[in-house]
Chains A and B, each alone.
Chain A
């Protein structure tokens, strides 16, 4: 015997749909509670004095089990027709998504013309209280009202499609029943900043649309535009506008980027469709046959959207290339070691939110030893979010034409951050690339106008070279500089003293004869020696005597010729010459006399003794004359 689980038992007893709802409720109770939304609405904001207005409180996301029955709100100028509210609940599953609604409804009748007001009320769902907003209703004379249109049943959207329509006949919808609203994320934007415009269709509950299509007239001149994804089978969301309850769906979302500064206008969005108001008849067969004719063609258009585009601030960095938004950059080489002629792929990826489609590649500063080809650009856009985002990848091919170690310098990407209102930048890290091998052909690089390669050193110096010593000695440390500097000074000093010497020789004859004494004596002695060597003994002694007497005459400034020997001796005595030296002089002069008159009596040794005596006598006498 097999025991059945309570869940299985319950399924058999309650039916498939209810069990499915029950299971979904067990699986996601938090989700259901979290989506509770409370709206208050009326079926019309303008009524005649003989009409009534239906006030409804709708609790989306609740089946009513945890809702305390609310009290009807107080009203000014309106009388409550019944205190017990009408209730209605609905469960729907669309695209696997379940939604539930529960509603309370009261009817009010005006008491007088003028502005009536339905006050706020409070409703408790679970442990939480929700407050509705007051709603104003204009009450006008019944004569000012058009023929009474069927009141829109607030629960029409909650009814089964097989329920009969509530009223007839159904008129054509007016502007308050059905319209398109364009909602931009902002009205003022920087140039190239992303602005998302959402086009929402508002339609009163119960209105049915078919064969809807967008016309082709939508344009946005002055903008770069990208479509964002919207749901192909949207679930209407309930919203209350001016006290009226509407279903809304998003028709279109577009990201627009102003490409220039100024007031720029986005065209209205237009759709063509066929619409049908709720049926007025409760006869299902009549309604069924009348359905085709109740759809009437309509054309809806949103209002224009005007965006004020501001120019980007001054002072953009040099690397700025027009990117506006929020970005990050990565740089990845596929290798860092390769051979000459081999290719290197450098991938620069910019990821973020903004005008990815229009941004240019960041500028590269690749060494000129590489051939760089235009990048392969691929853009991946994510259109599913609230904003356009994605990535743009630039793949560069670099081929080195020479070997060496090169550094790929940092790559800078600059963009303008509209939220911060300033420029931002991202800088990659430099990385080395080692190229091995030998260039098979001469390096070919792009040259600048002056013949220099772009972004690389000039070629090596070859040919004639002008060499010089690399001695780093400074001028003041070089000896030859001082020699050159002092040589003229020395010459001038020498000339100066020579001039003074010459001048004294002229001015002071006594001093001049004294200065000449020695040289003349040396001259005579030299001649004497030559005569001796020539065998002229007589001449030899004459020259010796001339040398001695000449010296005495010059030193004492007297005419030596004509002096007798006693006069000479007296003169020397007056000059304080010592007696032994005077005696040596007499002996020497006697020797010379003998040599002149009897030269044959002298041996060679005697002759040289005379020369030696004269040579030693002259300095000795000079010394005694200059104590």
Chain B
């Protein structure tokens, strides 16, 4: 009885959900038209509606970045360009626009190189993304289980089957471990963008604390810790300081 009720609810909800999705996509077209016509605030209103509905795409984030750029919101423009790049790393339009926005960013900090183990993990995550690793790992894991069951239940055995089981077990274990480890302990810390025109990194999470360095809109920082209304961030040259959370936007 309960099962029947769940199925009925899902069947009724499916057309409703599809209607909501269609509405969201229509809003994207409206926003893009507004963007082309120079109605940037209208465009942003439409795009933000889609974002709130739970959809995302490189095109959505790119167009949001373009609208913010036209409104002279450099920090927001860089923020959404980075979001777009996370979804589509190789798109030349995104990379070009990021370079253009970067030229306008006022800060010129050197970049502190990562320790080799962090670089290695980042490289591995880039080469084998979490979802890919998990998908392949689960397939190996299921293959191993199927072979094991065939042996236990059906008595299927032999050197080939044994090798297959071993390979499936080891590969699945490595990939699934990599996927879950990268999910729990990401190789890169959370990245944020400075949205305020000028912001001061301070030694303590207080406006009365001494200033460490002054940063400008559009600078990408790593978040290392947090306190109520404050983030401890690290700028590219390794300098750390506390910044009001209102000055930051997440990527």
User: Are these two chains actual partners, yes or no?
Assistant: yes
Which residues of A does B touch, CB under 8 Å? 365, 402-407, 409, 432, 438-439, 448, 450-452, 455-462, 465-471, 474-477, 481, 484-485, 487-489, 491-492, 495-496, 498-499
Alpha-carbon distance between A451 and B38 when the two chains are bound, in angstroms: 22
Please tell me if the beta carbons of B62 and A460 are within 8 angstroms of each other in the complex: yes
> At the interface, yes or no: B148 with Cβ under 8 Å from chain A?
yes
**Inter-chain contacts of A487 with B (CB < 8 A):** 142
> At the interface, yes or no: B109 with Cβ under 8 Å from chain A?
no
**Inter-chain contacts of B57 with A (CB < 8 A):** 465-468
> At the interface, yes or no: B176 with Cβ under 8 Å from chain A?
yes
From B25, B40, B54, B180, contact of A404 by CB (8 A)? B40
Please tell me if the beta carbons of A457 and B131 are within 8 angstroms of each other in the complex: no
> Count of A-B contacts with CB under 8 A?
120
Interface string of B132-149 (1 = CB under 8 A from A): 001000100110110011
Please tell me if the beta carbons of A492 and B55 are within 8 angstroms of each other in the complex: no
> At the interface, yes or no: B90 with Cβ under 8 Å from chain A?
no
The segment from B68-76, B115-123, B204-212, B236-244 that touches chain A is B68-76
From B70, B152, B179, contact of A496 by CB (8 A)? B152
Number of interface residues, chain B, beta carbon within 8 A? 53
From B63, B71, B94, B153, contact of A495 by CB (8 A)? B153
**Inter-chain contacts of B142 with A (CB < 8 A):** 487-488
Query: Which residue on A lies nearest to B43, using beta carbons?
Result: A460
Query: Which residue on B lies nearest to A455, using beta carbons?
Result: B100
B170 CB to nearest chain A CB (Å): 15
From A460, A475, A484, A495, contact of B149 by CB (8 A)? A495
Please tell me if the beta carbons of B38 and A438 are within 8 angstroms of each other in the complex: yes
Please tell me if the beta carbons of B134 and A481 are within 8 angstroms of each other in the complex: yes
From B36, B101, B144, B180, contact of A460 by CB (8 A)? B36
> At the interface, yes or no: B195 with Cβ under 8 Å from chain A?
no
- A selection of 23 A-B contacts at a CB cut-off of 8 Å is A402-B38, A404-B71, A407-B104, A409-B103, A432-B72, A439-B38, A450-B96, A451-B92, A457-B101, A458-B96, A458-B97, A461-B32, A461-B62, A462-B32, A462-B59, A468-B57, A468-B87, A475-B134, A475-B183, A476-B180, A485-B138, A491-B149, A495-B148
**Inter-chain contacts of B38 with A (CB < 8 A):** 402-404, 438-439
Alpha-carbon distance between A461 and B60 when the two chains are bound, in angstroms: 8
Alpha-carbon distance between A363 and B32 when the two chains are bound, in angstroms: 34
A625 CB to nearest chain B CB (Å): 32
Q: Given A406-B72, A458-B97 in contact, is the A488-B59 Cβ separation under 8 Å?
A: no
Interface string of B207-239 (1 = CB under 8 A from A): 000000000000000000000000000000000
From A407, A438, A498, contact of B153 by CB (8 A)? A498
A576 CB to nearest chain B CB (Å): 39
Alpha-carbon distance between A492 and B144 when the two chains are bound, in angstroms: 10
A430 CB to nearest chain B CB (Å): 8
Query: Which residue on B lies nearest to A405, using beta carbons?
Result: B72
Greatest chain B CB density within 10 A among A402, A465, A487 is at A465
From B72, B101, B176, contact of A485 by CB (8 A)? B176
Query: Which residue on B lies nearest to A476, using beta carbons?
Result: B183
Please tell me if the beta carbons of A409 and B96 are within 8 angstroms of each other in the complex: no
From B51, B62, B104, B182, contact of A470 by CB (8 A)? B51
From B59, B101, B130, B183, contact of A465 by CB (8 A)? B59
Alpha-carbon distance between A260 and B190 when the two chains are bound, in angstroms: 54
> At the interface, yes or no: B56 with Cβ under 8 Å from chain A?
yes
Interface string of B85-115 (1 = CB under 8 A from A): 0010000111011001101100000000000
**Inter-chain contacts of B25 with A (CB < 8 A):** 465, 467
Alpha-carbon distance between A476 and B141 when the two chains are bound, in angstroms: 17
